[in-house]
């Protein structure tokens, strides 16, 4: 079975401003980085349905977010997070793309998937858009998957340099979802400390500014991957942020392309043991275009195997 790449041009329409680091160029950089790779099938991301979105986000929140989208210009949710005409469609494609990828995997039409979509999602809480994020796509995908036969519990792996506060908050009292995150501390949003354990389903792997490959691989090898293995998930979802890369301007970790290939291979090996190899990944952060292209390529090479 092939690895599928999920994308849609609607994700290029979200424009939080000319100088904003979260631009449509990010999608183009990742797709350019995948050129020449074999065993990939590209499929369009559908729009997330109201039911898929409101499993995570209350209907009132979603309605108010839709109503905020302007006919022209920008509307600020916070100093980092904006809506323009097209933002809602982009967010729906991102959430819908992950749900679709999960459906393709669970129906044995693909083994693995990478959703090259934006805006990112893991900072968005159930009732609060923030941190560039309008909807929490990985949470929407997780609750969509848990509705499917054979998926009783799943793991979310997050190696974005920023802690996924929204994902943690949504699932910290849900024993059917394990959330494991490596991230830099101190750094936005300030959550992700080791003592934040939820109902025993949350594991935070904090890295200090300047930490690089050795520290990253040690934490995942000694703590993160064994915890997921013990959890025995029926599916693994990945919040794939590439802003821990040494080239990224928004953080101070020193990861390299090889580290993204390594962690992806480790995740896929773990998935082979626990859930028949089923892994669905979605793009989160990453704000250096060259790093996005090369690290995204390394990630997909790890998915293909």
Confidence at residue 97, expressed as pLDDT on a 0 to 100 scale = 98
Q: What CATH number does the domain containing 272 carry?
A: 3.40.800.20
Residue 1 pLDDT exceeds 80: no
**Residue 230, domain extent:** 3-304
pLDDT tens readout for residues 48-77: 999 999 999 999 999 999 999 999 999 999
Q: How far apart are the C-alpha atoms of 296 and 54, rounded to whole Å?
A: 30
pLDDT of 155 reads: 98
* DSSP SS3 for 203: strand
pLDDT by residue (tens digit) across 69-116?
999 999 999 999 999 999 999 999 999 999 999 999 999 999 999 999
Position 2 scores a pLDDT of 83
Mean pLDDT value across the chain: 98
175 contact partners, CB below 8 Å, separation of at least 6: 153, 199, 200, 201
Average pLDDT (159-178) is 98
* pTM flag (> 0.85): yes
Residue 201 has pLDDT above 90, yes or no: yes
Instruction: Indicate which residues carry an active-site annotation.
Output: 123
Q: Mean pLDDT, to the nearest integer, of 265-282?
A: 97
Count of CA atoms in the C-beta half-sphere (13 A) of 213:
8
Tokens linked to 228: 């997921």
Domain total of the chain: 1
Q: What is the mean pLDDT of residues 260-264?
A: 98
Q: Is the dihedral of CA 169, 173, 176, 182 positive or negative?
A: positive
Residue 111 confidence (pLDDT): 96
């Amino acid at each position: 079975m092939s690895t599928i790449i999920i994308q849609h041009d609607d994700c290029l329409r979200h424009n939080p401003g000319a100088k904003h680091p979260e631009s449509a160029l990010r999608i183009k950089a990742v797709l350019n980085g995948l050129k020449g790779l074999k065993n990939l099938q590209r499929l369009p991301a559908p729009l997330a349905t109201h039911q898929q979105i409101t499993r995570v986000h209350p209907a009132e929140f979603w309605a108010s977010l839709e109503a905020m989208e302007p006919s022209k210009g920008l509307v600020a949710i916070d100093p980092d997070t904006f809506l323009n005409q097209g933002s809602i469609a982009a967010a729906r494609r991102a959430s819908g793309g992950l749900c679709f990828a999960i459906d393709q995997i669970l129906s044995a039409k693909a083994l693995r998937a990478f959703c090259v979509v934006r805006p990112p999602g893991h900072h968005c809480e159930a009732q609060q858009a923030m941190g560039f994020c309008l909807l929490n796509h990985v949470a929407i995908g997780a609750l969509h998957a848990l509705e499917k036969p054979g998926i009783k519990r799943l793991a979310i792996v997050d190696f974005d340099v920023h802690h996924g506060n929204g994902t943690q908050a949504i699932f910290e009292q849900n024993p059917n979802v394990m959330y494991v995150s490596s991230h830099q501390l101190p750094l936005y949003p300030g959550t992700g400390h080791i003592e934040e354990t939820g109902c025993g389903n949350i594991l935070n792997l904090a890295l200090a500014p300047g930490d690089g490959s050795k520290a990253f691989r040690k934490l995942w090898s000694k703590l993160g991957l064994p915890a997921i293995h013990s959890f025995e998930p029926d599916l693994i979802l990945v919040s794939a942020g590439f802003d821990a890369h040494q080239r990224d301007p928004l953080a101070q970790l020193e990861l390299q392309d090889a580290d993204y290939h390594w962690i992806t291979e480790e995740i896929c090996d773990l998935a082979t043991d626990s859930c028949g190899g089923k892994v669905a990944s979605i793009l989160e952060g990453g704000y250096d275009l060259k790093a996005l292209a090369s690290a995204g390529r390394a990630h997909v090479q790890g998915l293909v195997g």
